[in-house]
Structure 1
């Protein structure tokens, strides 16, 4: 069954997010998005009067919402260690399934100069801030001081993104697994030392 024409806007945004994570921002052209999504050329400026910049901006928001939903789902776990371990496992699965082609579309936008569309860097920064805030809420909910929770949230996002880049370069999950293990140990200590943790003591 072919997609409905009314789906073209959503297909184009999704295709842009996929292309960003695999090829980067500069290589994500309108022509490439159209070829990937199968959307008619006439739909570009009908749906996106701001052109390529608007399309990328909306793809950044879509990808940001997706990861934020993963974090917020993990937040419902009773054990924050289990939640963070599961979050890293999802990224590992994404890397392996894509044969190390799929990175983070937010990083793809953040690391490239966008003098013609400075709002893209601001959008990427807003997504990173949302992820950090979601992680802060998780840690505060489990008894850590807010300042420590913010630092851990920023550290986890930074470490994860760096590990994903290294995994793609090395074609290996080892950097991600090493990062996940170190963060797990860090959180064990942080949560163990909080007042009234209820966490089982380390052996």
Structure 2
């Protein structure tokens, strides 16, 4: 039985934390290696294209995990508005714990527009997956197709924008406003 590769896991976990808190540009390869206690050879063994490939893998992993959790909650009986409100409550709690924490993708995604097509593409797929999950549930609840897709995209945009504003302001005012607005958007 093959043993798990500690260096790949350490690189992914460390990079995810640093990218989420500092962003892509402010996080250096040497900082990742030192914090992960991994040699450069391991980085390039697992991620031959270096930081860009590592960042794309972090986005794919975090985005996929959020989508899986979101789909699990959306598969239940709770109203979509309640699920979204709970998601925003979780973001508020994370920010209360550490103001540097927020969306595990947004800091990387925002910078990737100019820094890395691979990271930009991974980010776009992650956000599209979240939006698709909400849209599928809305369609299942009887919403017409175009309206379900537009509303789901608006909800994701609302959450992400509010998260940015709350991180910048250092308080949860924007997230609380987004929670109320999401309930309005999702009311039918």
Q: For residues 137-195 of structure 1, what are the alpha-carbon distances to aligned partners after superposition, in whole Å with 9 as ceiling and x for unaligned?
A: 1111111112111011110111111101111111101110111012112322x2xxxxx
Match of 2:147 in 1: 148
Larger Rg: 1
Question: TM-score, normalised to structure 1's length?
Answer: 0.84
Instruction: Measure the CA separation in 2 of the matches of 1:82 and 1:104.
Output: 19
Determine the structure 2 residue equivalent to 1:89.
89
1:8 aligned residue: 7
Matches of 2:148 and 2:97, distance apart in 1? 31
Cα distance in 1 for partners of 2:16, 2:69 equals: 16
The structure with higher relative contact order (CA 8 Å, sep 6+) is 2
- Matching residue of 1:73: 72
Check the 8 A contact 1:61/1:127 in 2, yes or no: yes
The secondary structure found in structure 2 opposite 1:46 is helix
Contact 2:91/2:102 (8 A) holds in 1: no
- For structure 1, the residue ranges without an aligned partner over 5 or more in a row are 191-203
Partners of 2:11 and 2:38 within 8 A in 1: yes
1:201 maps to none
TM (norm. structure 2) is 0.90
